Amino acid sequence: MAEIVRMPKLSDTMTEGVVAKWHKKVGDKVSEGDLLADIETDKATMEFESFVDGTLLHIGIPEGGTSPVDTILAIFGDEGEDFSALLQDAPAEVETKEEAPAGNAATPVVAATIDVAGIKADIIKMPKLSDTMTEGVVAKWHKKVGDKVSEGDLLADIETDKATMEFESFEAGVLLHIGVEAGGSAPVDEVLAIIGEKGADVDTLLKANAQGEPAQVEAVVAAPVAKTVEVLKTQSSAPKVQSSSNGRVMASPLAKKLAADKNINLSMVTGSGDGGRIIKRDIENYNGGGATQTFVGVESFTEEPVSQMRKAIARSLGASKFSAPHFYLTMDIDMDSAIAARASINEVAPVKISFNDMVIKAVAAALKKHPVINSAWQEDTIRRNEHINVGVAVSVEDGLLVPVVRFADGKTLSQISVEVKDYAVRAKAKKLQPEDWEGSTFTISNLGMFGIESFTAIINTPNACILAVGGTKQIPVVKNGMVVPGNVMKVTLSCDHRVVDGVSGSMFLKDFKKFMENPVVLLGAQNI
């Protein structure tokens, strides 16, 4: 549905704005955060970012045009959308906004009883940074009372109803007063801060403001308006200039912050943004010689539809991660004995045995000793599975499948090996059946063959645990008081804290470690 963006109130005294430049044209796609236009207020020319996504359907104020605050600046929506009904309300809205000042002018000014003419300080009010903003939250102050402030300095981060925006100072002087503390909120036009000469009478200014005495304050800022307009014309006729005639460098707030962090003089940097504006990449590429080495690339992407498998994975793992309170236990496994045992086993085994086959067998043996790990959360009950079905994560083109080695505790290494290999072949050929991946009581995810040292895995519901197996790495280890080369494998057990406690998980890992480090304990001749 089409949405109106209105002329924002970008300064505390702003009643109308001039569109100095449009950075988008009708028909352009616009994303939230894109630079939409340069708008001249009564104090400065500011960059106005879009708060909405969509196609720019209508420009209400042409370049160089002036319009009161809250009149239609632009309309966004879907390409080709009819927005004529929105424009029919425009005249009434403009008239409403124009009538208000006249009414205020006829109202008796109580503040005239308080003389603020000699006070060299300005009140900064909560700006209206979006068309629907009624109040703002000060997320962070970048200055504190007593700090010197220059025009264009980042003053505060202000959270609107649509985004958190950086608010720059329009005034130069000392920050004398903060009206809204960090984390606090205030309506639009409430006192945000006071900036002026050190020692200025802040209390009198606040009293005058509370009594509705804007005249003297407005007089302070009225004079520069004509000058600002002149600056606008200069900028419009020469879009490549990177600073205004008052010496202010045209740079994004982020660029200013990065420059300050890196102690870079912005006047020495050449801007590559619109109108010579200095942006983030200019600071990052600055080489100290007064010029930037800017790489100009082309943004591109492709989109592909989400497969049904990926949708199922997203639903399942999303539900698991955000419903089950995960905690993680990591342990190092000495693989020297397992390596030697595997070599010996493969000399007599009818099929080639992998380390993953040994992990499955060791997991099954440890689960038999620790049935709490072989459980499932069912809201009102906890299911203690007496059978041991080990799911093994297998990578396929669209994601992951978890075929199940059923009754793994009763199967030999050779039987496990044949079954896992068959599952892997059928999974890649998309020939697995639902019964092949249903009914697991525990899951293993092994990424060691990809060089991953350690990782954490999301529990495969309704299981209570999943074991993440990393690769075996040769590192120095201490054996019999001597530092010798050793082969170590890291494993991490993810546990559902609703079912499994830390001690239970640790005892399971302890026995798993014992079986992997002492294969003779795990295996007999019948298990090969």
- Cα separation, 323 vs 317, whole angstroms: 10
- Cα separation, 468 vs 448, whole angstroms: 9
Q: Given 82, 89, 422, 501, which residue is catalytic?
A: 501
Tokens standing for residue 513: 């470690």
Active site residue 177: no
Sign of CA dihedral 73, 77, 80, 83: negative
- Give the CATH number of the domain where residue 187 resides: 2.40.50.100
Residue 226: inside a domain, yes or no? no
Site of tokens 């019999």: 480
Residue 223: inside a domain, yes or no? no
DSSP lists the bridge partners of residue 140 as: 157
- Cα separation, 512 vs 502, whole angstroms: 15
Give the highest mean pLDDT range of 11-25, 38-52, 142-156, 233-247.
142-156
Would the pLDDT of 57 be above 70?
yes
- Which whole number is the average pLDDT over 383-400? 89
Residue 510: inside a domain, yes or no? yes
What does pTM read for this prediction?
0.47
Residues 185 and 170 grouped into a single domain? yes
Query: Which of 70-74, 217-221, 308-312 bottoms out in mean pLDDT, i.e. has the lowest?
Result: 217-221
Residues 88 and 135 grouped into a single domain? no
In Å, what is the CA distance from 301 to each residue of 53, 298, 304, 496?
Answer: 18, 10, 10, 38
Please give the residue range of the domain that contains residue 69: 3-106
Q: For residue range 97-110, list pLDDT tens digits in order.
A: 334 444 444 444 44
CB 201 within 8 A of CB 115: no
Q: Could you tell me the pLDDT band of residue 117, with boundaries at 50, 70 and 90?
A: confident
Count of domains for the chain: 4
- Cα separation, 456 vs 328, whole angstroms: 7
DSSP lists the bridge partners of residue 54 as: 30
Which residue, 279, 301, 323, sits at the end of a domain? 301
Residues 280 and 321 grouped into a single domain? no
Residues 16 and 141 grouped into a single domain? no
- Cα separation, 242 vs 255, whole angstroms: 13
Q: Given 58, 131, 497, 511, which residue is catalytic?
A: 497
Residues 281 and 211 grouped into a single domain? no
Active site residue 501: yes
Higher pLDDT, 273 or 370: 370
